[in-house]
Amino acid sequence: MTDGDTSNNTQRPPAVWMQRYDQVRRFAQSAGRLPTQASTTDSALVTWMSNQRRSWNLSAEQQRLLAELPGWRWAPHEERWEERAEDLRMFVAAHGRPPRVRAVHARERSLGQWYSRQRLAHQRGELNPRRAVAFSYAIRGLTTS
């Protein structure tokens, strides 16, 4: 270990990791967002990002670099679910009813479809406990769930 290593207490990520990180960073800088399966022909970037989210042995420096990527989320699907639950909560609070699957407005229709899927999963006991509580909170005040 060198003197620089002990004073900094961070280790430079491996060169291969940095190459892939730089590819993702350049994509994000040019596109204004992270790559997705639908947005890039290089599915290796998307796979690499997914693997980083699941990795249990990232260094503090690797975690810091990933967190600096614009739009990086450690659990994007979970965060998206929470956003939809909050959208549902606000809709119910504003309208006093659940969103309709056959609504005229696309936004309500989309939320209505999500609500229907979550309601069915809730009734079947398929939501994890944290989601079940959040869903129940979002629809509180409705006569049917």
The whole-angstrom separation of Cα 27 and Cα 35 is 7
Spans of all domains in the chain: 9-68, 76-138
Short-list 83, 92, 100, 108, CA closest to 140: 92
In this predicted structure, the answer to whether residue 46 has a pLDDT above a threshold of 60 is yes
pLDDT digits (tens, 9 = 90+) for 16-45: 999 999 999 999 898 888 888 776 567 889
The encoded tokens of residue 42 equal: 């290089």
The whole-angstrom separation of Cα 89 and Cα 86 is 5
In this predicted structure, the answer to whether residue 7 has a pLDDT above a threshold of 60 is no
The whole-model pTM stands at 0.58
